[in-house]
Amino acid sequence: MTQKLTRPGPGSGAPDPKRRGDRVFRGFAMGAGILILVILALVAAFLLIQGSPALFADPAKLISQGYGEFLPWVLPYAFGTIWAAILALVLAVPVAVGIALFISHYSPRRLAQPLGYVIDLLAAVPSVVFGLWGSLVLAPAARPLYEWLSANLGFIPLFSGTVSGTGRTIFTAAIVLATMVLPIITSLCREVFLQAPRLHEEAALALGATRWEMVKMAVFPFARPGIIAAVMLGLGRALGETMAVTMVLSGTRNITFQLLTSENPNTIAATIAQNFPEAFGLKTSQLIAAGLVLFLITLVVNMIARWIVSRRAEFSGAN
């Protein structure tokens, strides 16, 4: 009310010069915000413009000058992208939830923050270093494990087939991917676990629940949407991660669920990275169109995740 009174009335003549600065500054701030929306729209638009020659080209022309007809060409890579990401999540999610719980509810209180930093360090390691480590260190080290899996569990279709001689399989790539998405899932889960209502936790403990029962009854039900969102965000990251797969896999264009052989499905991102430097003309367009497909897949996954997060923020009864 008082603010309204101090403001100059609508009919008070010349605008206050001080307020003009205000309008300009507000305009700049708003412009920057709108620019971000425009950039995101432009990303889609430019990929569409530059990729459209391949999207709408005559299939015969694509076969002669490009990599082949678009949909049959891109589908195996889309499969590889999703398959590798799902494998990575299967490996990463249980560990990430465990780490987040360890930091939020199990470790000594004074250690919680330093331990969080340690996990964040994993996120700080550049992807190209993980790729180097995955192909030169992890792959040879994991080969004995693959041989054991193949010899003893080979009846499961996942582990069937001849074991790759280098160890550079989609399973290795999935382990590297899992390591890379681990810190993202962990940090989000940790945040959600820390927000679990303190009173519920204390009530559970006061009724004689053990620590694990308290976590099951008071923390998990509260944190479930947050965990789902964290997993979706991890999925988005795993879908788009390039270098780990590019450097670990020498992928081919096939659809297979076998984890340990040398015939591995490649991902969209890795295919672009491997072929783009040498591509020209229609091939470039085709790779950009593949990038558009990847962009749309991750966009949908991320939008669902963010929608879950924002919906939860509104209804959370955290106190």
Partner 1 sequence: MTTITHRLGSETLTAGRLPKATIPVAIAASAVLGYALAVLASGTADIGLAVLFAFLLFLVVIEITTRVVEGARQAADRRAGNLIAGAFLLALVPLGSVTFEAVSNGLARFDLAFFTQSMRNVVGEGGGAVHAIYGTLYVTGMATVISVPIGLLTAIYLAEYGVRNRLSKAITFFVDVMTGVPSIVAGLFAYALIGLLLGPGTRSGFEGSIALSVLMIPVVVRSCEELLRLVPNELREAAYALGVPKWLTIVRVVIPTAISGIISGVILAIARVIGETAPLLIAAGFTASLNNNLFANPMMTLPVFVYDSYAHPGTDVQVYWDRAWAGALTLILIVMILNLVGRLIARRFAPKTGR
Q: Are 107 and 211 in contact (CB under 8 A)?
A: no
Q: What angle do CA 180, 173, 192 make, to 5 degrees?
A: 30
> Which whole-number Å values give the CA distances from 47 to 52, 291, 293, in the listed order?
8, 7, 10
Q: Are 298 and 234 in contact (CB under 8 A)?
A: no
Binding span for partner 1 by CB under 8 A among 30-38, 59-67, 149-157, 217-225: 30-38
Q: What angle do CA 254, 172, 161 make, to 5 degrees?
A: 50
- Binding to partner 1 (CB under 8 A): which residues in 61-80? none
Q: Which of 242, 258, 261, 266 binds partner 1 (CB under 8 A)?
A: 242
Binding span for partner 1 by CB under 8 A among 31-39, 56-64, 159-167, 254-262: 31-39
- In this structure, the chain runs to a length of 319
Residue 169 or 246: the one with the smaller Cβ distance to partner 1 is: 246
Least Å distance, CB 9 to partner 1, is 17
Residue 170 or 292: the one with the smaller Cβ distance to partner 1 is: 292
Least Å distance, CB 25 to partner 1, is 4
Amino acid identity at 144: P
Binding mask 98-127 for partner 1 (x = CB under 8 A): xx-xxxx-xx-x--x--x-xxxxxx-xxxx
Residue 138's nearest CA partner among 178, 100, 98 is 178
For residues 116 and 189, give the distance between their C-alpha atoms in angstroms, rounded to a whole number.
12
Q: Which of 66, 167, 226, 291 binds partner 1 (CB under 8 A)?
A: 291
- Binding to partner 1 (CB under 8 A): which residues in 141-160? 141
**What does R_g of the chain's alpha carbons equal in angstroms?**
25
Q: Which of 75, 90, 128, 156 binds partner 1 (CB under 8 A)?
A: 128
Binding span for partner 1 by CB under 8 A among 82-90, 156-164, 257-265, 271-279: 271-279
Residue 183's nearest CA partner among 238, 223, 142 is 238
Residue with tokens 């270098």: 243
Residue 127 or 262: the one with the smaller Cβ distance to partner 1 is: 127
For residues 178 and 133, give the distance between their C-alpha atoms in angstroms, rounded to a whole number.
14
Least Å distance, CB 101 to partner 1, is 5
- Binding to partner 1 (CB under 8 A): which residues in 161-220? 179, 182, 186, 194, 198, 210-213, 215
Least Å distance, CB 185 to partner 1, is 11
Residue with tokens 């891109």: 74
Residue 151 or 257: the one with the smaller Cβ distance to partner 1 is: 151
Least Å distance, CB 51 to partner 1, is 8
Q: Which of 7, 19, 61, 311 binds partner 1 (CB under 8 A)?
A: 19
Alpha helix ranges (H) inside 56-169: 59-65, 70-101, 112-124, 127-133, 139-153
Using CB under 8 A as the binding rule, whether residue 24 contacts partner 1 is answered as yes
102-114: b (≥16 Cβ within 10 Å) or e: bbbbebeeeebee
Q: Which of 1, 5, 14, 37 binds partner 1 (CB under 8 A)?
A: 37
